[in-house]
A and B are shown apart, each in its own frame.
Chain A
Amino acid sequence: MSRKIVIPFGPQHPVLPEPIHLDLVLEDETVVDVIPSIGYIHRGLETLVAKREFTEYVYIAERTCGICSFIHGLTYCQGVEQIMDLEVPPRAHYLRTIWSEYSRLHSHLLWLGLFADAMGFENLFMNSWRLREFVLDILEETTGGRVIQGSCKIGGVRKDISNEKLASMAADLKGFEAELSDLSDVFLHDDSVKSRLVDVGKLTRTDAYDLGAMGPVARGSGVGIDLRKTGYAAYRDLRFEPVTETAGDSYARCAVRVRELFGSIDLIRQAIEKIPEGDIEVKVKGNPDGEYFSRSEQPRGELVHYLKANGSKHLVRSRIRTPTLTNIPPLVKMLQGCELADVPVIVLSIDPCIGCTER
């Protein structure tokens, strides 16, 4: 039997946009065990609930992560609203849904770019990010911020989108969709992409479910969980099905995300079609008292904000369980038995977001 060696991977590694550290135990070229350790960008922001009033904490919640910041804000607001029994106006629900789906588009395109880069496919990286700018432009026009939107508040949203703008957004989606199909063809059918992804980093359906995989990682292994099905925001009025693939390899996870891009476009179209007129916020009176596990579907999987309040201006506890944290055990399983050269692709295939994970 050959000797075992340990190779540290990270924290600063070219394919990682953010620092994560893995100790890889190798036997020859095969990874036999993986020990993750985090903490490079741990800030401890959950403790800030004691410093910020519950209405201000939205800004902290949004800055948990700059990629899915809107959905963090939404989930936090939704939690407080559930505790306080606030009835958010339907138009606000629809606007939230529209922004969530644009965030998903931007996040998935960002990931596709990074993934292409990890495969050494620079042209594809550039093209994904070029398309992503279209989404960011819309976010900026409608909310004022490119990556940190700040448009969600407790009781509703801060800004309305005019009906003309909504109509033009719907019209613009057409050209975007066409460009997107060109891009997705490369990801789904190109031979060199396939050769890097197919059968790499397998995760069986049972493992995915038992280890708590969420989001595209779970759906790539055939587990059809999608928290949008619980019907928060306006999702209860919209038609969609969770996208699933069955192979459970990196290619399947990539395919899930590519197909979800089109799903998001469809959801935006439906939402723009159905959006009702009316107010966009309700007044917030008093302080929250109670607790709630607010859950939503982020681009990376299930997000849980646990909020506990005691009737004062400050929450007692906020706990943010991000999708990457729950996807770490499946990642460890995927890496066991893989080739050293495939490690970067497999790590990226769960779409790690360390800023979220460590908070």
Chain B
Amino acid sequence: MKIEEQTTIVIGVEHLIGRVEQFRKGGYRLVQLNCSKIGEQFEINYCFEREYRFENIRIVIDFETEVPSISGMYWGAFVYENEMHDLYGVAVKGMNIDFQGNFIRTSVQYPFRNPSFQGEGPCQEK
């Protein structure tokens, strides 16, 4: 049984701000942003909800493309944008609170770009 309908619309980066503005005007709340690495590209999802209606817009970009920050419209977006930057190295332009890569402090730079694993052998080599 489907719990809810979820729509995803893929748009270009240049239309991002306009679309987000529409959501903002329509009284939607920001659910989350997230980045995934699919092949050699990043997929960034922007999820919104209003009265339990879930809508998602997506941009697909290269590693180098700069993304405009939406924290001007949704003040709380800075947590997600900083996280995206720290884990994937997405360049986000114009964040209201920019931690300069210190929001989530990780042992390697941009760890989710090429996840590495350890401890393949026995747990404890002494």
Contact = CB atoms under 8 A, between A and B. Distances in A.
In the complex, is A directly touching B at CB under 8 Å?
yes
A42 B104 contact: yes
Interface string A320-340: 010001101110000000000
B75 A211 contact: yes
A179 interface: no
Contacts of A37: 99, 102-103, 105
Contact of B79 (A232, A304, A328): A328
A47 B111 contact: yes
Contact of A42 (B56, B106, B117): B106
Contact of B105 (A39, A209, A302, A326): A39
| Size bracket, chain B contacts | 35 or more
A326 B29 CA distance: 11
Interface in B1-60: 1-4, 6, 8, 29-32, 34, 36-38, 45, 47, 52, 54, 56
A316 B102 CA distance: 26
Interface string A295-311: 10000001010101000
Contacts of B6: 292-293
Contact of A229 (B8, B52, B78): B52
B72 interface: no
A35 interface: yes
Given A230-B52, A293-B56, A319-B34, A329 B104 contact: no
B115 interface: yes
A210 B23 CA distance: 12
For the complex, would chain B's binding face be called helix, strand, loop or mixed by DSSP majority? mixed
A78 B29 CA distance: 23
B112 A42 contact: no
| Size bracket, chain A contacts | 35 or more
B2 A304 contact: no
B36 A317 contact: yes
A50 B115 contact: yes
Contact of A293 (B2, B54, B78): B54
A302 to B, nearest CB: 7
Q: Counting chain A CB atoms within 10 Å of each CB, which of B37, B76, B106 scores highest?
A: B76
A308 B8 CA distance: 13
Nearest to A40: B105
Nearest to B115: A47
Contact of A212 (B29, B99, B102): B29
Given A44-B115, A293-B56, A230 B4 contact: yes
A319 B112 CA distance: 11
A38 interface: yes
Given A39-B104, A293-B31, 9 more contacts: A37-B99, A37-B103, A38-B103, A38-B104, A210-B76, A231-B3, A292-B6, A304-B47, A308-B36
11 contacts: A38-B103, A39-B105, A42-B104, A47-B111, A51-B117, A82-B3, A87-B1, A211-B75, A211-B76, A212-B30, A293-B6
Interface of B: 1-4, 6, 8, 29-32, 34, 36-38, 45, 47, 52, 54, 56, 74-76, 78-80, 83, 97, 99, 102-106, 111-112, 115, 117
9 smallest CB-CB distances across A and B, nearest first, come from A329-B76, A39-B105, A47-B115, A317-B36, A321-B32, A211-B76, A212-B76, A319-B34, A39-B104
